[in-house]
Amino acid sequence: MIKIAKQTIETLIQGGKASAAPPLGPALGPTGINIGQVVSEINKKTADMAGMQVPVKVIIDTTSKTFTIEIGTPPAAALIKKEAGIEKGAANPLTDRVADLLIPQVIKIAKIKEDVLLGKTMKMKIKEIIGTCQSMGILVEGMSAQDALKAVDSGRFDKEIASGKTELTAEEKIKQEEEKKRLKEEMEQRRAEFEAAAKAIMKEMEGQENKKIRNKMQEAGIPKPIMDELVPEEKKDTAAAGAPAKK
């Protein structure tokens, strides 16, 4: 019985930009397989993940000098940020909205993550992605995640899901950029209002303990990141607290 000798090489590459340079090239060189073919196949499989670090596994049959490629996927949050054109999600997703995804983009992400999502149907997988949008402060079709989930359940996007559309038209891209700009301006205005309210409380309670000032801010609905910035929590001197009293 002939035993097939296999070797596996695992690495991270930037989507669509694999090359014979390190780390891939030097690892593949000693195996004797055609590096150009491997690079071409990887770039073909990762073209939709441009700009992201993608886990890649090259499984090589060292006897026949053939190979198979397995592509991992970036986290759903990374894919969402790429589609939304943002570097990070909202600091306070309960109040801030940093972007608005359209349903074709959600479908695209669900398809990329299809093998690792728990949902049994594409509709269920799409709902998982919308759930992740919620934790990042990202709207879907101008709706909160909760409303978008209800819309999916009601069948509002059945046509788009059935068609498998994953790319935006030029008009849709323009609309999305305008919405992102509007959300940014709205968020900056809301932050300015919160800061003004917080500073008014600080002036009113000048000289009082930070804890009391923070409690007042919390009652006024000031977001925690702004509270932490303007009135940091007082750190307890644990060493002093634990030291025995002097007689």
Whether the predicted pLDDT of 238 surpasses 50: no
- 229-242 average pLDDT score: 67
Task: Say whether pLDDT at 117 is over 60.
Answer: yes
Q: Which helix (H) or strand (E) holds 26?
A: helix 24-28
User: How many of the other CB atoms lie within 10 Å of CB of 117?
Assistant: 19
What number is the average pLDDT over the span 65-71?
89
Q: How confident is the model at residue 244 (pLDDT cuts 50, 70, 90)?
A: low
| In contact, 187 and 96? CB cutoff 8 Å | yes
pLDDT band at 74 (very low <50, low <70, confident <90, very high): confident
Q: What are phi and psi of 137, to 5 degrees?
A: 75, 40
- What is the tens place of the pLDDT at every residue in 7-47? 899 988 888 899 999 888 888 888 888 999 999 999 988 88
Residue 64: closest CA among 108, 21, 3: 3
Q: Say what the pLDDT of residue 236 is.
A: 60
Q: What is the residue range of 50's domain?
A: 6-71
In this structure, the answer to whether residues 67 and 85 fall within a common structural domain is no
Q: Quick one: what percent of the chain has pLDDT higher than 70? A: 94
pLDDT tens for 123-158 read: 999 999 999 999 999 999 999 999 999 999 999 999
Contact between residue 53 and residue 13 where contact means Cβ atoms under 8 Å apart: yes
Indicate if 96 and 135 belong to the same structural domain. Answer: yes
**Non-local CB neighbours of 208 within 8 Å, separated by 6+ positions:** none
| DSSP classification of residue 236 | P
DSSP H helices, the chain, are: 24-28, 35-45, 76-84, 103-112, 122-134, 145-154, 158-163, 170-204, 210-219, 224-230, 238-242
Note whether residue 151 is domain-resident: yes
Judged against a pLDDT cut of 50, whether residue 2 lies above it is answered with no
Give the CATH number, domain containing residue 47: 3.30.1550.10
Give the per-residue pLDDT at 143: 93
Per the CB < 8 A criterion, the answer to whether 101 and 144 are in contact is no
Asked if 166 and 111 count as a contact pair (C-beta separation under 8 A), the reply is yes
Q: Which residues is 100 bridged to in the sheet? A: 139
User: Are both 88 and 36 inside the same structural domain?
Assistant: no
Residue 212 and residue 190 in one domain: yes
Domain count, the chain: 3
Tell me the pLDDT band of 73, cut-offs 50, 70 and 90: confident
Task: Specify if 50 maps to a domain.
Answer: yes
Residue 240: band (very low, low, confident or very high) from pLDDT cuts 50, 70, 90: very low
In a domain, 175, yes or no: no
φ/ψ (deg, to 5) at 233: -65, 140
Q: What is the mean pLDDT of the chain?
A: 87
